[in-house]
Every structure is written in C-alpha cells, then in structure tokens.
C-alpha cells in the first residue's frame, strides 16, 4: 500500500457539472458568472478576486437556497465512490464556500476532509467572506507525498507539487497551466478511477 494522500479539486473534477455556472443558470445570471468562471479557469483573473466577484453575484440569494441547489449538482459518481471508499486518505481542496458546499461534500463523505473558503452568515445571507482558500498554502502543509487531481488554473500549483499530478478533462477542458505541469492527464472518469486505484 502506498502512503499517498489524495487531494481533489471539487468543481468539474468531482462534480460532473460546473457548480456556480450551473446554479446561476437557474437564477438568471449565467452569462456574467460564466465569463468570470472561464477567465479564472484560464488564469486571466486571480482566483481570489474572481471568486469574491462571483460571490457578489450570489449574495442576494439566501444561503440555504444556494446550499440546496449546490447539493443537487451532479457528481462524477465513480469518482465520488472512490473518495467514499478511501475517505481517510482523501481531501477536497476547493475555493468554494463552506456554507454553500456543506450538503454536497456530505454526499461524498468529505465533511471533515475539506479545505475551502469561509464566510460569515447573518439571517441566511452572506455577511462577509473572511477567507479564500489558497491551494498553495494547503499543499505546503502536507507532510506525506500526495496525489492531486484537478482541471483549473488554480489547481496547477498543487498538481505541480504532487508526486502524481493528474489533470482531469472529463467535464471541461484542462487549463493550459495544468497541462504544462501535470504528470498525467485523463479524460474519462472510469479510467481516472482505475488509475487512482493503482496508486492506493
């Protein structure tokens, strides 16, 4: 058995849909949200600024409603099952907000194994985002060698630092910065899970 810890990006890696663009479709703010998401994925806007702008777009929606909607986002079920079965060695590393993704991460058994951004809530509305996750800071805490899986520009550093850094392109295109440093890239969920099982 290896000693690898497995770090997963959440959005369009463990989920089969892009979280914020998908819910903003239902809320009628898709275009603005999608533009921001796309330029962030390509690395044209720093993640922190972009994420705060995207939170602004959803600030008028009750937190409980956003949480419910995100809870219904489709998961890549084979990958989610791998995470559940190996939950003691798996972690989610996502820029998304704790109070929004709570229900979704519970579904994959990661409620105690998630590094994410955090917000203060008052009367079911976001008062302030008080921390935006820095994936680089998360990986700098790692003592054991790790495997990292992701697709976006803000995953590139953890993928580069990983012993095995995997770009996953099953949901959307892999960011150029990830292609530039990944040790492996995989475009099919079943193949990704099969490869991860070899790394256990």
Partner 1 sequence: MAVSRTVVISCAGMGNRLGLGTTKALVEIDGKPLIVRHLENLINEKDIRVVVGYQAEKVINVVTKYRKDVVFVFNHNYRETGTGASVALAARYANEYILSLDGDLLIHPEDMKKILECDFEFVSGGVPETDDPWMLQTYEEAGQKYVSAFSKNLGDYEWNGITQMKSSKMMNGTGHVFQLIEPYLPVSFMELRTREIDTVNDYERAVAWVRNGFK
**Residues facing 121 on adjacent strands:** 126
By CB under 8 A, residue 121 contacts partner 1: no
By CB under 8 A, residue 3 contacts partner 1: no
Distance of CA 43 to the CA centre of its chain: 15
Residue 53 Cβ, how far from partner 1 at the closest point, in Å?
Answer: 29
Inter-residue long-range contacts of 61-64, CB under 8 Å, 24+ positions, other chains counted: 61/27, 62/124, 62/125, 63/99, 63/100, 63/121, 63/124, 63/125, 63/126, 64/124
Q: Tell me which of 92, 93, 132, 182 binds partner 1, using CB under 8 A.
A: 182
Site size with partner 1, rule: CB under 8 A: 17
Which residues, in sequence order, are CB contacts of 57 under 8 Å at separation 6+?
24, 29, 32, 33, 36
By CB under 8 A, residue 195 contacts partner 1: yes
- Of the pair 144, 200, the CB lying nearest partner 1 is at 200
By CB under 8 A, residue 138 contacts partner 1: no
- Of the pair 142, 181, the CB lying nearest partner 1 is at 181
By CB under 8 A, residue 62 contacts partner 1: no
By CB under 8 A, residue 179 contacts partner 1: yes
DSSP 171-183: SSPPPHHHHTT-S
By CB under 8 A, residue 184 contacts partner 1: yes
- Of the pair 73, 196, the CB lying nearest partner 1 is at 196
Q: How far apart are CA 50 and CA 130, in angstroms?
A: 15
For the chain, state the CA radius of gyration: 16
- Judged by CB under 8 A, which stretch of 53-61, 95-103, 122-130, 183-191 contacts partner 1? 183-191
Residue 84 Cβ, how far from partner 1 at the closest point, in Å?
Answer: 22
| Distance between start and end Cα atoms, the chain | 6
Residues that bind partner 1 (CB under 8 A): 164, 179-188, 190-191, 194-195, 198-199
């Amino acid at each position: 058995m290896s000693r690898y810890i497995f770090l997963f990006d959440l959005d369009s890696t463990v989920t089969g849909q892009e979280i914020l663009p998908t819910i903003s479709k239902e809320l009628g703010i898709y275009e603005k949200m999608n533009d921001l998401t796309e330029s962030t994925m390509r690395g044209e806007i720093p993640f922190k600024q972009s994420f705060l702008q995207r939170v602004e777009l959803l600030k008028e929606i009750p937190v409980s409603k956003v949480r419910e909607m995100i809870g219904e986002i489709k998961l890549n079920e084979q990958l989610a099952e791998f995470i559940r079965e190996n939950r003691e060695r798996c972690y989610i590393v996502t820029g998304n907000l704790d109070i929004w993704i709570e229900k979704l991460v519970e579904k994959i058994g990661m409620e105690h194994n998630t590094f994410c951004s955090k917000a203060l809530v008052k009367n079911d509305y976001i008062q302030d985002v008080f921390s935006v996750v820095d994936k680089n800071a998360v990986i700098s805490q790692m003592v054991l060698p790790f495997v990292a899986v992701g697709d976006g520009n803000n995953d590139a550093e953890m993928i580069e630092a990983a012993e095995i850094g995997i770009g996953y392109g099953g949901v959307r295109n892999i960011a150029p910065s990830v292609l530039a440093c990944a040790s492996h890239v995989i475009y099919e969920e079943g193949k990704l899970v099969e490869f991860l099982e070899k790394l256990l």
